[in-house]
Structure 1
Amino acid sequence: MWPRKKGKKRKLYTFDKLNQRKFQQSVFDATTRNSFYNIEDHPERASLEPILGIYETEAAPLIKRIIEKRNIAWLSDKDRLNIATFVAVQRARSYGEFMRIDHMVSAISGKLSKVGATLDQMESELGSEGSTERKAMFFNLILDQKDTIRHLKAKSWILYETEARDPFFISDNPVTLYNHIDMGAFGNLGVALKGIQVHLPLSSTLTLALICPSIAESAVEAKKKVKRLISTNPHLLKYLEQTFGLIKLGEAYENGTAMTQSADNVRFLNSLQVSYAEQYIFCEKDHFALAEEMIDDNERYKTGPRIQVS
């Protein structure tokens, strides 16, 4: 994920949500769960790592260049496809996503048992908790990302930036989703839904956001309106909040430039990393007060998100 320095191993501060402890470790140790991607019951214990590595290899030089240029306007259609593929697979492959799916299937099994399904019937269809069948189901979902990739590629892309003194978090489940539109019991976090925002930190100071086009269109239109006011009725600008910010946001969507985030926006993006993390949050600095505060308020944040089955 984040660029790795040659020579001396780069260290990240790590916060363990489950046990509420902090420590330092290398980038490699922070992003590896040994043997998780090995396929059980295979004669040669085959692994998905080589397959997943293909996606990382395609995206790695593109992400490195984004970080160097602090701009995404140069990305070609193929570049965007490669990065969208990386984001989709990165989201699908996380241990947190596996735990979310395993928890959901267990909840469904519990509901089925209440309406008379036998243990054998449920295990035949859904596998038992922690079983090879469920892990295989998860692996199939990792590789079946065509629709997700198509939707991600079609989003409006924007680059968010923060200062080194107020860095972005990243976690063991780094692709986060947010939607300001309340869609009730059906949920609002599908990648194809109106209003969806998908975020992936690329470095401690840059986050790539794949945003619903309707949001980008509103931002660009707001920029145009502000510029018209400057030309025709500048006296009305005093009634607008963050006039310069509206122009910068519209330009960031149009020109691919990095949009500097306020402290509140950095806190919001970091709160999503805390919420989505299955267990570990990483940061360039020992700045985990937000994570501690969220867990103190609600112990639900000690794990990653879980789907409620009613």
Structure 2
Amino acid sequence: MSEPLQHYVPKFMLRRFSSGGRELVHAFDKHQDKIFAFSTSKKSKVGVAAERAIYDFNFQGVPLTLEPALSSLETKAAEVTARVIAAQALPPAWREEKAILASFMAVQLVRTKAMMATLDDLSSRMEGFFRAEGAPEEFFQPDPLVGSKENARKAHYAALITNASRDWAPLLLQKVWHLIKTTDDTPFFMGDHPVVRFNDPNAEGRGKLGLASIGVQLYFPLSPTLALSLMCPTYLEMMIDGIERIDRLLVGRLGEPSSLRAQRKEISGIVEALLAGSMTEVRPENVEHFNSLQVLEAERYVFSVKSDFSMVREMIQEDDTVRWGTRFVEGSGHF
């Protein structure tokens, strides 16, 4: 079997958010309102964002683990992201490297404690509903092939993780990938569920955050100052349409020319960066939005290269449910 302590946020990602000779990462524990620091040096046994035997389970009495496969994927993703960080740009022709990152991000979406807690919560609510409806006890018993209820739970998570690359990576590859950069003064956070999603709250439909949903965007921090943004192609189309509308206004001498030209220049710069895979610098308000998503989706820990977590405290004070990660909302209201 694998080592008992297994990380759901890979150690190479935690090290990227460290500083100083002791390679310290600052962390905020949302459950305990506690700020602390821990070392990510190779001599340190990092016990944060980790759990014992989280990827170990039994099938027909045979012990199995996902740890070696996850470690292999992490090694490849660490190499690709290191090259991106060094170049401060996405490679012009990087089909294989992009596929590696898409697989890694797809797996990272489902391997965390946040996802496990979300599925446990949904499973508990579903069981309560079906029990209230009179379902027989055998309905709730796990398949004999996976034994106990706890082992069945872990085997189910293992199946989700195993299938993530096949099921979700192709959807990620359909997004428009580009890099966003901030400054050392206003760094990105990284939560313990680091691949986060966002969509316009006013978007139509219930499944707003599904990877195939129109408008959904994903963000993934590579370092305190660099992150990947995966944008829905519809936003790129909207920006190109916006440039064309501005051009028509300028030709028709409608509107204030200097303001329109300034808008066109800003939008054109973003479009060019998106099409080229180059980097765009974001404003402090964009960093705040990014960090708020990391805080909301983190199940427990928020990491930073700095010890300032005032934003996390403020979000919790405004809404105590922020202490935990987001949960699924079932549309019918039954559970």
**If the length of structure 1 is used for normalisation, what is the TM-score?**
0.89
| Rounded Cα–Cα distance in structure 2 between residues aligned with 1:74 and 1:185 | 36
Match of 1:72 among 90, 96, 118: 90
Match of 1:251 among 233, 255, 272: 272
Match of 1:213 among 203, 216, 233: 233
Q: Are 1:72 and 1:257, in contact at CA under 8 Å, matched by a contact in 2?
A: yes
After TM superposition, where is structure 1 displaced by more than 6 Å over at least 4 residues in a row? 127-130, 227-234
User: What is the aligned partner in structure 2 of residue 275 from structure 1?
Assistant: 296
TM-superposed CA distance for 1:219, in Å, is 2.6
SS at match of 1:60: helix
Match of 2:120 among 98, 102, 109: 102
Give yes or no for the alignment of 1:24 onto 2:37.
yes
**Structure 2: gaps (5+ residues):** 1-12, 41-45
SS at match of 1:144: helix
Number of residue pairs aligned between Structure 1 and Structure 2? 309
User: What is the aligned partner in structure 2 of residue 59 from structure 1?
Assistant: 77
Query: 1:305/1:206 Cα in 2 relative to 1: closer, same or farther (>3 Å)?
Result: same
Match of 2:25 among 12, 20, 27: 12
User: What is the aligned partner in structure 1 of residue 185 from structure 2?
Assistant: 165
TM-superposed CA distance for 1:128, in Å, is 11
| Rounded Cα–Cα distance in structure 1 between residues aligned with 2:303 and 2:157 | 25
| Rounded Cα–Cα distance in structure 2 between residues aligned with 1:194 and 1:285 | 35
Give yes or no for the alignment of 1:150 onto 2:170.
yes
Match of 2:216 among 196, 199, 221: 196
User: What is the aligned partner in structure 1 of residue 200 from structure 2?
Assistant: 180
**Structure 1: gaps (5+ residues):** none
| Rounded Cα–Cα distance in structure 1 between residues aligned with 2:19 and 2:28 | 24
Match of 2:68 among 33, 50, 54: 50
Equivalent AA in structure 2 for residue 174 of structure 1: P
| Rounded Cα–Cα distance in structure 2 between residues aligned with 1:124 and 1:33 | 23
Q: Are 1:102 and 1:129, in contact at CA under 8 Å, matched by a contact in 2?
A: no
Give yes or no for the alignment of 1:302 onto 2:323.
yes
CA offsets per residue over residues 94-146 of structure 1, 9 Å max, x none? 11111111111111111101110134422347x99972211111110001121
User: What is the aligned partner in structure 2 of residue 138 from structure 1?
Assistant: 157
Q: Are 2:239 and 2:267, in contact at CA under 8 Å, matched by a contact in 1?
A: yes
Superposition pairs of residues 215-254 of structure 1, within 5 angstroms: 215-223=235-243, 236-239=257-260, 242-254=263-275
CA offsets per residue over residues 69-102 of structure 1, 9 Å max, x none? 1111435111111110010011111111111111
| Rounded Cα–Cα distance in structure 1 between residues aligned with 2:272 and 2:109 | 28
User: What is the aligned partner in structure 1 of residue 285 from structure 2?
Assistant: 264
**If the length of structure 2 is used for normalisation, what is the TM-score?**
0.83
| Rounded Cα–Cα distance in structure 2 between residues aligned with 1:71 and 1:226 | 29
Q: Are 1:128 and 1:134, in contact at CA under 8 Å, matched by a contact in 2?
A: no
TM-superposed CA distance for 1:280, in Å, is 0.2
